[in-house]
Amino acid sequence: MIRQRLFRYAVYRNMFLSFVLLTAAMIALVTVVLYMMFSWSTAKEVGKISESMLKQNSAVSSVIRDQVYNVGNLLLSDKEIVNALLDKEADPVKQYGVFGTLNRVQSTYPFIHSIGIYNGSNNTYLNTKGITKEQEKALLEEINSKNTSYFHLFPRKISSATSANRSEDVLTFVLLPSYYSPLSSKGAIVINMSIDTIQDLIGGYRNEAVDSLHVIDDKGTIITHSDRSRFMEDISQESYVQSILASDAESGYFTRSIDGRKSLVTYVKSKDMNWTYISVSQYQNLLFNMQALRTSALVLAMACFAVSMFLSIWLTHHAYNPIRHLLEKMSAIPKMKDRRQINEFAILDTTYAEMTEKMKSMESAASAARQAHVLQLLKGGDETAFRRLVGEGKGPYFLAAALLLDSQDGSPGGEDEELQSYSCAAVARAAQQMLEPEGASVATVGDGTVAIILPMKQNRPPLHVLGMLEELQGELLRTLRVSVTVGIGTGAQTYEELRESFDCAQSCFQQRFFEGKGKMLHGDPVITAEVEHSEAQYPDKREKRIIEAIKLQQRDKLEKEIDQWIKEIREYNYHEVMFFINQFIGGLYKQLNVHTVKNRESADLFLDFTRRITRFQTLQETEDALKDLALRLCSLSEESGAVRHAEVVDFIQMYVRKHYARPDMSLEQVAGEVKLSRSYVGKLFKAHCELSFNDYLNAVRLEKARELLASTEESVQSISEQVGILNTTYFYTLFKKHYQISPAQFRSQHAIETKKAQ
């Protein structure tokens, strides 16, 4: 049975495969996550253990340092050793005694390879292994160049005393007694420690998980290594060594790819010496049973997958039963002998489509009947439908409401009539479903309007009905993305009053022009009291300022003036506002001379605006359109008048520079020369020059006065009259305000500067 369903039924097969894939993915995910968490946790624990072991290793450096200091103190407490360091002559007898003392000390410390005494004053070197001064030449030269501290360490290879071709790895500790005492600055104690001793101490902590255990100095040179052949090898270029040397932490661990293999690096820095203890372990060797763990995880995953197969079959069988029962009720399923594959959803879709068509046909008939009933009540002119409505027990009062679709382009319902029809139908269905419990009748009446008739028990609309209408607005906006304005009429008890109520509801849409879209507007004068206005007065002064701003291309001022113009007409009713808008457009058209052929583009702008003016649904839309028109006219005025304005300003500047000496020079006189009004010339000049005409005239006169003060010996009064300023006191005030210095002071200062220049 299960096998037949898997091969025959598409939905059953898809459900089964989905369950299988889901469980398989979950098992794989859980297995991988657990494995990675176990691996990470193990590496972390191993890193902490390795770090702890290295901290124990780091104690070796303290032990070595202390032993070296002990040997040094022991030698410096011996008089023969001190005399050998101070002796300026190489006395063989004394050297023999020193040699015996050094041998006794060395025998006390078996880890010491050899001890040497160097006296730079007589250039002698004694060593217990018989190493000569010539063999230690490089070390002695470096000793002579250093006296910055008492303790020095040199990892190096020295020649064997038994064979010249054989070398031994040692750590050479050099003590410079002169750093703390008045001994010769060229004297030194050389203690050579066998690297094998340190190797045995540190190597004892190594285990099977550690691939290498080594110690480096602060320059990245290996002091000791589990691989003895790598002594004194420079590994400072290794990335993990650079990370360790650059770190401020005294200890830590991290993972890094070394030689192409992921490794765990652990380090501890010694506090007593500049040594860093490092252990490197391959990541895969940290888990000794890694392969067994992988095998166990795989076996567990396979077992879980097998269980999930049976679980998927059980879940599919039980989840599929409702679909099977629904198929048996809605349609006939082909018999099992028929080998054709069956798509259950396709069968259900076909059956549902047939049932939907039947229901739509029934619903369409009922909807058409309701539509006809409402239209007959509101537009038919026959009281028969109203009597039938009253006879159904609804009433005794009725309320007419209207829903108007708020379009985005300015026209009711939008330009697409088919889209408008669909939107109206959707709004009508939503309103019918929500208001049906209240006994409402709903119908579309054209032009993006939906009519609603609500029965009431009193002459006022109940508050819960108003709340339902507000809820309807929000639901339409949220689900259908359709904004509607609701107009509510007055209460009605007769057929004529019902029609008047609907007309009142539609008249509310004029208020939308002022209050905006998506609002609920009341036509009942008791609910919404009308404000009495005085006689309408057109704001012609504001219009003149707007025209002037367009001519002068003052865009910021233009928008502010239009805002104020709209604010002044907002208090009037709809028809008065529309009259003012038309008057305003006519004034712009006349004042800007757009009737000429030269300004044909401006005329086209006005023509396009007048075509759209009746489609503006709100005053805000009208204001935005007016601003757009004004700014476009401003741009056209700028293109056509820019050259003319520049010529006018240039002429005025040349005229002022030529006739600045005339005392009667004024803005009126200049305006007469260019045959323009005084106010227009003043604003035009300030817009182009960013200063007023009088300020420019005074600047020219003061500039000429400054030249006369510097080049002549004439009196200030005479110079003031020559530049056109007859009032000498006023000239003093202007000059000092402009140059922050009086005319007399300027003349004196200029004379001093002239003498200095000569």
pLDDT in tens, 692-730: 999 999 999 999 999 999 898 899 999 999 999 989 999
- Is there a domain that residue 661 lies in? no
Cα of first residue to Cα of last residue in the chain, in angstroms, is: 121
Q: What is the pLDDT of residue 719?
A: 92
Instruction: Note down the domain range covering 396.
Output: 358-522
Measured in whole angstroms, the distance separating CA 393 from the mean position of its chain's CA atoms is 64
The pair of three-digit structure tokens given for residue 580, joined into one six-digit string:
């003012």
Least confident of 58-62, 434-438, 481-485, 648-652: 58-62
Q: What is the pLDDT of residue 312?
A: 73
Residues 405 and 315 in one domain: no
Residues 495 and 391 in one domain: yes
Residues 293 and 375 in one domain: no
| Mean pLDDT computed over every residue of the chain | 78
Q: Which residue has the higher pLDDT, 395 or 440?
A: 440
Q: What is the pLDDT of residues 237-252, one digit of tens each?
A: 888 888 888 888 888 8
Strand, helix or coil at 339? Answer: coil
What is the share, in percent, of the chain residues with pLDDT greater than 70? Answer: 79
Name the residue among 610, 581, 613 with its Cα closest to residue 594: 610
Is the omega angle on the peptide bond into residue 396 within 30 degrees of 0, that is, cis? yes
The pair of three-digit structure tokens given for residue 317, joined into one six-digit string:
């069988």
CA distance 400 to 503: 9
User: Do residues 205 and 213 lie in contact, with contact meaning Cβ atoms separated by under 8 Å?
Assistant: yes
Strand, helix or coil at 153? Answer: strand
Residues 421 and 507 in one domain: yes
Q: What is the pLDDT of residues 478-521, one digit of tens each?
A: 888 888 889 888 888 888 888 888 888 888 887 887 888 888 88
Residues 385 and 314 in one domain: no
> From the CA atom positions of the chain, what is the Rg in Å?
53
Q: Say whether pLDDT at 225 is over 60.
A: yes
Domain end marker among 456, 491, 522 = 522
Question: Mean pLDDT throughout 347-364?
Answer: 67
DSSP states along 44-107: HHHHHHHHHHHHHHTHHHHHHHHHHHHHHHHHHT-HHHHHHHH-SS--HHHHHHHHHHHHHHHH
CA distance 738 to 723: 15
User: Do residues 225 and 147 lie in contact, with contact meaning Cβ atoms separated by under 8 Å?
Assistant: no
CA distance 262 to 281: 9
φ, ψ (nearest 5 deg) of residue 575: -65, -40
Q: DSSP alpha helices (H): ranges in 247-289?
A: 283-286
CA distance 568 to 581: 12
24: confidence class by pLDDT, cuts 50, 70, 90? confident
- Is there a domain that residue 110 lies in? no
410: confidence class by pLDDT, cuts 50, 70, 90? very low
Domain end marker among 496, 522, 548 = 522
Question: Mean pLDDT throughout 738-746?
Answer: 91
Strand partners of residue 251: 268
CA distance 184 to 235: 37
Q: Return contacts of 530-534, CB within 8 angstroms, 24+ apart.
A: 531/571, 533/571, 533/572, 533/573
What is the share, in percent, of the chain residues with pLDDT greater than 90? Answer: 7
On whether the pTM is more than 0.85, the answer is: no
Q: Say whether pLDDT at 451 is over 70.
A: yes
User: Do residues 523 and 487 lie in contact, with contact meaning Cβ atoms separated by under 8 Å?
Assistant: yes
Q: Say whether pLDDT at 408 is over 60.
A: no
Q: What is the pLDDT of residues 369-389, one digit of tens each?
A: 666 767 767 766 667 777 777
CATH number assigned to the domain comprising residue 512: 3.30.70.270
- Is there a domain that residue 649 lies in? no
- Is there a domain that residue 378 lies in? yes
Residues 512 and 374 in one domain: yes
φ, ψ (nearest 5 deg) of residue 536: -65, 130
Q: What is the pLDDT of residue 259?
A: 83
Strand, helix or coil at 31? Answer: helix
Which range of 205-219, 444-458, 521-535 scores highest in mean pLDDT? It is: 444-458
Q: Which residue has the higher pLDDT, 337 or 217?
A: 217
Q: Which residue has the higher pLDDT, 169 or 526?
A: 169
- Is there a domain that residue 409 lies in? yes
- Tell me the C-alpha to C-alpha distance, in Å, between residue 273 and each of 155, 246, 252: 13, 17, 18
- Tell me the C-alpha to C-alpha distance, in Å, between residue 164 and each of 132, 156, 228, 260: 12, 16, 21, 40
159: confidence class by pLDDT, cuts 50, 70, 90? confident
597: confidence class by pLDDT, cuts 50, 70, 90? very low
CA distance 649 to 692: 12
Q: What is the pLDDT of residues 243-276, one digit of tens each?
A: 888 888 888 888 888 888 888 888 988 877 888 9
Question: Mean pLDDT throughout 303-329?
Answer: 72
Q: What is the pLDDT of residue 702?
A: 93
Domain end marker among 489, 522, 555 = 522
User: Do residues 678 and 671 lie in contact, with contact meaning Cβ atoms separated by under 8 Å?
Assistant: yes
Least confident of 242-251, 419-428, 450-459, 556-565: 419-428
Q: What is the pLDDT of residues 115-141, one digit of tens each?
A: 998 888 888 888 888 888 888 888 888
Find all residues with CB under 8 Å of 639, minimum gap 6, and list them: none
Q: What is the pLDDT of residue 750?
A: 87
- Is there a domain that residue 479 lies in? yes
Q: Say whether pLDDT at 634 is over 50.
A: yes
- Is there a domain that residue 334 lies in? no
Strand, helix or coil at 162? Answer: coil
Residues 396 and 465 in one domain: yes
Least confident of 204-213, 659-668, 695-704: 204-213
User: Do residues 19 and 315 lie in contact, with contact meaning Cβ atoms separated by under 8 Å?
Assistant: yes
Residues 516 and 459 in one domain: yes
Q: Say whether pLDDT at 223 is over 60.
A: yes
Q: What is the pLDDT of residue 577?
A: 85
Residues 312 and 447 in one domain: no
**Counted domains in the chain:** 2
Residues 501 and 372 in one domain: yes
CA distance 187 to 637: 99
Least confident of 46-50, 311-315, 337-341: 337-341
Residues in the chain: 758
CA distance 715 to 365: 107
User: Do residues 173 and 166 lie in contact, with contact meaning Cβ atoms separated by under 8 Å?
Assistant: no
Least confident of 251-260, 526-535, 670-679: 526-535
- Is there a domain that residue 30 lies in? yes
User: Do residues 757 and 749 lie in contact, with contact meaning Cβ atoms separated by under 8 Å?
Assistant: no
Residues 316 and 447 in one domain: no
Residues 296 and 394 in one domain: no
